[in-house]
Amino acid sequence: MDIVKDLKWKKGIKLDRFVAGLANTGYQGVELGRASEVIVKMKRDKAKIFMTFTSNMVTSGLRGFFAQLIKLGMVDVIITTVGGIEEDIMRATGEKFMITSFNADDVELYEKGMNRIGNLLVSNDSYARFEDTLTKMLGEIYKKKKRIKPSELFREIGLMLNDKDSLLYQAAHNNVPIFCPAITDGAFGFHLFFFQQNHDDFIVDIVKDFSDMLTCTSYDERKGIIALGGGVSKHYAILITLINGGFDYGVYITSQTPYDGSMSGATTDEAKSWGKIKDNADAVTVIGDATVYFPLAMMRALEVLSREGLIKNG
């Protein structure tokens, strides 16, 4: 049994030592340290790493970090929600998101054409320009293919982008599939609807993508999941591996608690009752803001893996 150790500042302290220090302070610091260790173990074990996140993570400055992780070879499969796809395209085409306050005057923001996501702002103008951008992209894709899976659609878009900080760009250039089961749950869905009104032979085949998700791994393959937040993206990952023996490693980071039965608050232990995570899996649930905890856990893991030569040059 470990003992509590005092965390103290030292001039020039390295991030990996800081996170290691948090792991000895107690409470969520312990779980954060465990999460970092589990990520290291996933990579050492050559596990296929599934990363899931909700769109609000892409609204934040984690977008470029996700793209970097793909480039470094730390992610093999991505499952997300469609807002993250939209906002990645927006940022890749020059849109800027602003920081405000959680207590901003929302009526005033509405009158100014600003949409609040926590303490971040995305303007109506950004969505209008996104509509023009996506419509042109869909037109180019339609010339090549009339029936397409969402993951193929995202790859085609990624190849059209010219931003190395874009997760769509990096996924397309590193052969990492991006799955988005709820592709119509956002502005992207509206524009698919509008496009299809004028091109009724254009089909986005979600069921075929589900088939690809089910077969993207096997029972014998070692598997790890990093789930940021919850919802549909997290559930699809653990659902598709249910028929493939469950995950060998798991890291959940969420601000929700398990006491309302929600997917967002469900822990790695709960997943074991379904067989979605193996009963002997090395798994941990961290309760807190993923935009803070995840980069701490992952960057410490990257420091360790870099020293061991287990990540690509980034």
Active-site amino acid positions:
276
Report the Cα 156 to chain-centroid distance in Å: 19
Q: Which residues, in sequence order, are CB contacts of 221 under 8 Å at separation 6+?
A: 47, 48, 244
Q: Report strand pairing: 120-123 vs 98-99.
A: antiparallel
Rounded Cα gap, residues 57 and 286, in angstroms: 16
Angle between helix axes 15-22 and 290-307 (nearest 10 degrees) is 120
Burial label, 242 (beta-carbon count in 10 A; 0-12, 13-18, 19+) = middle
Report the 10 Å Cβ neighbour count for 20. Answer: 17
Supply the DSSP symbol for 121. Answer: E
Supply the DSSP symbol for 288. Answer: S
Report the 10 Å Cβ neighbour count for 273. Answer: 10
Sequence length of the chain is 314
Closest to 92 in 3D by CA, of 139, 140, 159, 162: 162
Whether the CB-CB separation of 79 and 180 falls below 8 Å is answered with yes
Closest to 195 in 3D by CA, of 239, 140, 235, 268: 140
